[in-house]
Chains A and B, each alone.
Chain A
Amino acid sequence: MPTIKSIEDLKRLREEAQKVKELRDQTGKTQIVVGMGTVGIAAGARDTLKAILTYIEEKHLPDVILRQTGNIGVGGQEPVVQVILPGAETVTYGKVTPAMATQIMEEHVVKGNVIQDFRIEA
């Protein structure tokens, strides 16, 4: 499908997505949560989230649900990103720069390998 330019295109996109969904088995979606409290924003959470979006957009990654939340409650570790693969437990990463976010997308979200070095206790 070419680039979306209008609301009509969006409706067509949805119809196509529904057809694909019917064919695909129900495997669930990966969730990515970014902490966007004041501290997170000041620490660069918006750029981190932007890097995640850019990755999804450039790699045409399907089945990813992105969410933001207020403070995740791990003070001093912002920006915080959590990845929840379908059926897996939540993995929390701390002090996530845009470059680290891209690595997390590549290694964890796509390949399924948790990056232990970036991991923090939540």
Chain B
Amino acid sequence: MRELSLHLLDIAENSISAGASRIVISVREDLVADELWLEVTDNGKGMSEEMVAKVLDPFVTTRTTRKVGLGIPLLKQAAEACNGFLEVESELGKGTRLTAKFQHSHIDRMPLGDLEDTMITLLLGTPAVNWVFNFQYNDQFFEFDDTEVKEALGDMPLSDFRVIEFLSNTISDGIGDTKIITTEKGVLYANH
């Protein structure tokens, strides 16, 4: 996987598999501290300490049909290669929080890629989950919580073409607006 947004999608899939009803995905770009943080928090079934140790190991999976699970170890390796780290905190019955930190400017850091596509995929693909998406760029902040949208729609599917358009626009505008940096000399548009 060559984009961090694809890794986020993969990590979020683990949360879905853990039976979470609420999943919060946070991305924080801090160009001043030169840090990039990714976080996925869920209220799924959680893991024991032994299991947490195992999911960080590349030769473990909860799958029964195949023997290796590589998603988390791959992201961990990518973070560590960029002066960062990956940690998993989990409590049985409460949920799991995965945090990954990267040196933002590190030459080997994968691009974030298309966060909007990742969010749309999750929102539309697994509508039973309450999705919250936080994006922070320096001191600018954007939050999307799908609760209000789902209440407004009732039993109407999110995959209605007009709703897809609305969700795509809301998320891409939200991210785009957050990346507008105001400086003393005017407005700069960040493009990465």
In the complex, the 9 A-B pairs of residues with the closest C-beta atoms, listed nearest first: A68-B125, A4-B166, A10-B152, A66-B159, A38-B71, A57-B161, A11-B152, A57-B164, A14-B156
**Interface residues as binary, B1-20 with A (CB distance below 8 Å gives 1, 0 otherwise):** 10000100110010011000
Cβ contact within 8 Å between A36 and B152: no
Least distance between A16 CB and chain B CB atoms (Å): 10
Query: What is the interface residue range for chain B against chain A?
Result: 35 or more
Give A contacts to B, CB under 8 Å: 1, 3-5, 7-11, 13-14, 17, 29, 34, 36-38, 41-42, 46-47, 49-50, 53, 56-62, 64-68, 70-71, 73, 75
- Please choose the segment from B32-40, B62-70, B103-111 that sits at the chain A interface, where 4 or more of its residues have CB less than 8 A away: B62-70
**In the complex, chain B residues whose CB is within 8 Å of the CB of A3:** 162, 165-166
Closest to A73 in B: B65
**In the complex, chain B residues whose CB is within 8 Å of the CB of A61:** 161
B124 sits at the interface (CB 8 A) = yes
Given contacts A13-B163, A14-B153, 20 further A-B contacts (CB under 8 A): A4-B162, A4-B163, A4-B165, A10-B153, A13-B162, A14-B156, A17-B156, A37-B13, A42-B1, A42-B6, A46-B118, A56-B161, A57-B165, A65-B157, A66-B125, A67-B125, A67-B126, A68-B124, A68-B126, A71-B63
B50 sits at the interface (CB 8 A) = no
B120 sits at the interface (CB 8 A) = yes
Cβ contact within 8 Å between B125 and A41: no
> Once bound together, how far apart are the Cα atoms of A13 and B165, in whole Å?
13
Least distance between B124 CB and chain A CB atoms (Å): 6
Closest to A44 in B: B6
Cβ contact within 8 Å between A41 and B10: yes
**In the complex, chain B residues whose CB is within 8 Å of the CB of A11:** 152
**In the complex, chain A residues whose CB is within 8 Å of the CB of B125:** 34, 36, 49, 66-68
B160 sits at the interface (CB 8 A) = yes
- Which residue among B114, B118, B165 has the maximum number of chain A CB atoms within 10 Å of its CB? B165
Known A10-B153, A38-B10, A41-B10; judge A60-B71 contact (CB<8 A).
no
CB-contact partner of A50 in B63, B70, B121, under 8 A = B121
Least distance between A50 CB and chain B CB atoms (Å): 5
**In the complex, chain B residues whose CB is within 8 Å of the CB of A10:** 149, 152-153, 163, 166
> Once bound together, how far apart are the Cα atoms of A111 and B148, in whole Å?
35
Closest to B7 in A: A41
